[in-house]
Chains A and B, each alone.
Chain A
C-alpha cells in the first residue's frame, strides 16, 4: 500500500509509540499526586511542555494540552467568546476553515454573534486588506487557518496578524493543524493570540494536541473539574500521550527541512501526472508542498479513489472529516469551484515516510486509472 492520505492522519513514528508505551508503564502516576511518583510525572509533563514551547518560541505556561485540534479550536473560540463576549460580538473568519472552527462559529452565530466571512480568491487565499475592511470596533475574534486542509493554500498570516493588531482589539486565532508538518510555527510571526496544533498530523499519536494561549489572554474552559492545565482543560493529564507528542514535535522539527524538499519534488512529479492524465490541479502553485488537490471530471471522486485503492494507492476525497457526508465540499464551494470539479476532486497528501519511488508509482497508477475510467465514463 502506498499511503497518500497524510492530511487525514499520519502513521505514528515508531519512536513516538515507544515513548508512549514506556512512559505509560514507567511514569503512569497522576502528576497532581503529592508523592514522589507524582512528582516525576509532573516533571515529565513540565519538560514536555517546555520542549513544545521552545519549538514554538513561546513560554511553557502559554501551552494548554488538549485532546487534539478539534478541542483546541473549540476552546479557542468558545473560551474566548465566554471571556471576551463583552468586548463585542463580531467574528471575522475565512470561509475555508476546518469544521472544528466553522461549526463552533455557527453555534456562536446562533447565540447572537455577527459573523463576517472573508472574501477569498480561487485558492481560498485571504486578502489582508479584506480583513482590514471586515474589522469593526465590535470584532472580538479573527480566525484564519495557516494551511488549508483540502487545497494546501497558505494564508498570508503575518500580514493578516499585522492588520488585526493595528486596526482592532480582536484576538487572532490560527488553526495551524496542517501547517506544522511543513513549516515552522511561531505565533509571534503572526502576532497570533491563539494557535492550534494536533499531533497526529505529523506522525504523533491521535488524541492529543495543544492550544497556544498568549500570555495575558484569558479564556474560560469548555468544561470544569480539577483545575488541570491552568483550569482550561481539567481532567487527569495524559502525561505519556503528551510526552509522545513532544517527541513527535522534536522529530518533526529535525526532519522538516529534508521532508519539505522531498515533498516539493513529489508534488512536482504528481502535478505532471495530473497534467498527463488530463486533470486539473486545484491547489495553488505556492501552496504547502504536502497537499495536492486535483480533479478529473467527469470521473467522480469516489470512483477514482476506489480504483486507485485497488492498485494499492490510498488517496482521499478532499477532507476525511466531511468525505462521508456526500455534501459538496464547503471549501471548494467557497473558492468558487464548479460542481463538475467539486464532484471529482481528490486530495493527495504526503507524509515523512513516503518515498519518491512510491509517488512515481502512484503517479503512473493515477494516469492509468484516469484513462481506464475515462474510457468507461466518457
Chain B
C-alpha cells in the first residue's frame, strides 16, 4: 500500500489499537515508519496479548526491550532475554537503519552471539531452525531487542473498506462470514430476523451475544432486529411449501437492502456456502440474489463445514452458535425443499400469491429494534450488574 492510502490506513490502525487498549491507561503510543511502538510503562505485556491479537491490520507484534545505542547494554539485554527463554539453540539477527551506529548488521550478531555463548554453558547456535531467534534492530528511535514475534490478525483496519450489512442468524456460519468481512476492513452492520413466538427471546439474546463477540474484533456492530413473524406466516399460507425457504430468503434480502441503504452499506454478506444445504444450491442462490440489486458477498462460499467450524472456534463464536435455540430458518423448514428452483417460476408464483409485499416490508421496517453492540456486555444486562453484582 502506498502514499495517502497508507497514511490513512496507519492512522486508523493506531486509533483502533488505542481504543482496544483503552483499559490500560499507562500505555503510550508512537508511530514511526509503519510501526507502532507501545510503551508499557509497567503494564504487563501478557495483558495486551489477547486484545492486540484481535486488531485487524496488525501483521505481528513483539514485546521488545529498548536500550541505549551502545554495545554494552545490547549485550547485557540480549543475554538476559536468552537466559530467560532458556533454549538449547538460538540465533541472533540484526538490522541497522541508524547509520551512525558503529557496528554493522553483520557484526552485531557475531558480537552478541559470542557474548551469549561465553556466558551460557550448553547453548548452541543453530542458524536454520533455532529454538529462539533473537532480533536486534538498531534504529534512529532506539535499539530494540526481542525474541518473540506474535502473529497479528492480519487484514485491514476496520473501517477502511466501507460498510457491509451481514445477515446474522444464530448459526455457526454467519458470524464467521461477518468476521471475514471485518478482517477485510469492512465496518459491520448486522440484521437478525426475529419471529416470536416461533423463535424465542433467547434466540435473540444468542444473536446479540454473537454480535458482541464480533464486536471484539470490530469495536462496534450495529444490530438491527427485524420482526419477521407476519411475513413468515403469510408465506407459509400462500406459497408452495417446497419453496418456503427460497421465498423467505428473498424477503430477507429485500428488507436487508433497505436497511443497508439507510446505513450507507454497499453490500450484503451471508454465511452461505455452496451446496451446504438445500437453500444454498447455485440455483437457490441465483433466485434469492435476484431479489436485491446489492452485491451479496459470501466469504464462506468455498469452505467446507469443518473449516467453518474450525474458524468459528478460533474467533470464539462456536460455543454460542451451538446453543440449541430455534431460529427463524429452522422453524418453517420444508420437509422436501426445492433445490433447483427457476427464477421465472418463483417470480410468477410470487406475483400470483396475492401477498402485500410492500406493506409487509414496510411494517417489518417500522418495527425494527436497533442495538449498538460493543465489547462490553450489551445494554440489556446493565441493570443486572448494578443490582446484583
- Residues on A lying within 8 angstroms of B by beta carbon are 19, 22-23, 26-27, 34-36, 38-40, 42-44, 46-48, 50-51, 57, 61, 166, 188, 240, 243, 246-247, 250
B 69-99 binary contact with A (CB < 8 Å = 1; else 0) = 0000000000000000010000000000000
Cα–Cα, bound, A254→B98 (Å): 47
With A36-B201, A57-B47, A188-B46 known as contacts, the answer to whether A43 contacts B380 (CB < 8 A) is yes
Task: Assess whether A246 is in contact with B86, with CB atoms less than 8 Å apart.
Answer: no
Cβ 8 A contact of A22, one of B202, B380, B381, B388:
B388
Task: Assess whether A34 is in contact with B200, with CB atoms less than 8 Å apart.
Answer: yes
- 20 pairs of residues in contact across A and B, judged by CB atoms under 8 Å: A23-B387, A23-B388, A27-B388, A34-B202, A34-B325, A39-B200, A39-B202, A39-B205, A40-B384, A44-B384, A47-B377, A47-B384, A47-B385, A48-B389, A51-B389, A57-B47, A61-B319, A166-B86, A243-B388, A247-B388
Task: Assess whether B319 is in contact with A22, with CB atoms less than 8 Å apart.
Answer: no
B 351-389 binary contact with A (CB < 8 Å = 1; else 0) = 000000000000000000000000001001100110111
Task: Assess whether B389 is in contact with A250, with CB atoms less than 8 Å apart.
Answer: yes
Cβ 8 A contact of B387, one of A22, A46, A188:
A22
Q: Which residues of B contact A47 (CB under 8 A)?
A: 377, 381, 384-385, 389
Q: How large is the interface on B (under 10, 10 to 19, 20 to 34, 35 or more residues)?
A: 10 to 19
Cα–Cα, bound, A50→B381 (Å): 12
- Residues on B lying within 8 angstroms of A by beta carbon are 46-47, 86, 200-202, 205, 319, 325, 377, 380-381, 384-385, 387-389
Classify the interface of chain A: helix, strand, loop or mixed.
helix
Q: Which residues of B contact A22 (CB under 8 A)?
A: 387-388
In the complex, given contacts A39-B205, A43-B205, what are 12 additional A-B residue pairs having Cβ atoms less than 8 angstroms apart? A34-B200, A38-B202, A39-B201, A39-B202, A44-B381, A47-B377, A47-B381, A48-B389, A50-B377, A57-B46, A57-B47, A247-B389
Chain A residue nearest to B378 (CB atoms) is: A43
Chain A residue nearest to B86 (CB atoms) is: A166
Cα–Cα, bound, A36→B196 (Å): 12
| A66 shortest CB reach to chain B, Å | 19
With A43-B384, A44-B384 known as contacts, the answer to whether A246 contacts B205 (CB < 8 A) is no
Classify the interface of chain B: helix, strand, loop or mixed.
helix
Q: Which residues of B contact A19 (CB under 8 A)?
A: 387-389
Task: Assess whether B388 is in contact with A44, with CB atoms less than 8 Å apart.
Answer: yes
Chain A residue nearest to B324 (CB atoms) is: A34
Chain A residue nearest to B377 (CB atoms) is: A47
Cα–Cα, bound, A101→B389 (Å): 30
Q: Which residues of B contact A38 (CB under 8 A)?
A: 202
Cα–Cα, bound, A136→B89 (Å): 24
Q: Which residues of A contact B381 (CB under 8 A)?
A: 43-44, 46-47
Q: Which residues of A contact B319 (CB under 8 A)?
A: 61
Counting from the closest, the 5 A-B pairs by CB-CB distance are A243-B388, A23-B388, A39-B202, A44-B384, A246-B389
| A283 shortest CB reach to chain B, Å | 29
Chain B residue nearest to A27 (CB atoms) is: B388
Cα–Cα, bound, A250→B385 (Å): 11
Cα–Cα, bound, A188→B319 (Å): 23
Q: Which residues of A contact B389 (CB under 8 A)?
A: 19, 44, 47-48, 51, 243, 246-247, 250
Cα–Cα, bound, A331→B328 (Å): 61
Which of A22, A47, A250 has the most CB atoms of chain B within a 10 A radius of its CB?
Answer: A47
Q: Which residues of B contact A247 (CB under 8 A)?
A: 388-389
| B87 shortest CB reach to chain A, Å | 11
Chain B residue nearest to A250 (CB atoms) is: B389
Cα–Cα, bound, A44→B202 (Å): 14
Q: Which residues of A contact B200 (CB under 8 A)?
A: 34-35, 39
| B32 shortest CB reach to chain A, Å | 30
Cα–Cα, bound, A247→B386 (Å): 10
Q: Which residues of A contact B46 (CB under 8 A)?
A: 57, 188
Q: Which residues of B contact A34 (CB under 8 A)?
A: 200, 202, 325
Q: Which residues of A contact B387 (CB under 8 A)?
A: 19, 22-23, 26
Cα–Cα, bound, A44→B381 (Å): 8
Q: Which residues of B contact A46 (CB under 8 A)?
A: 381
Chain B residue nearest to A162 (CB atoms) is: B86
Q: Which residues of B contact A39 (CB under 8 A)?
A: 200-202, 205
Chain A residue nearest to B380 (CB atoms) is: A43
| B224 shortest CB reach to chain A, Å | 21
Q: Which residues of B contact A43 (CB under 8 A)?
A: 205, 380-381, 384
| B148 shortest CB reach to chain A, Å | 15
| B102 shortest CB reach to chain A, Å | 37
Cα–Cα, bound, A139→B388 (Å): 43
Chain B residue nearest to A52 (CB atoms) is: B389
Chain B residue nearest to A19 (CB atoms) is: B388
| A234 shortest CB reach to chain B, Å | 17
Cα–Cα, bound, A109→B377 (Å): 46
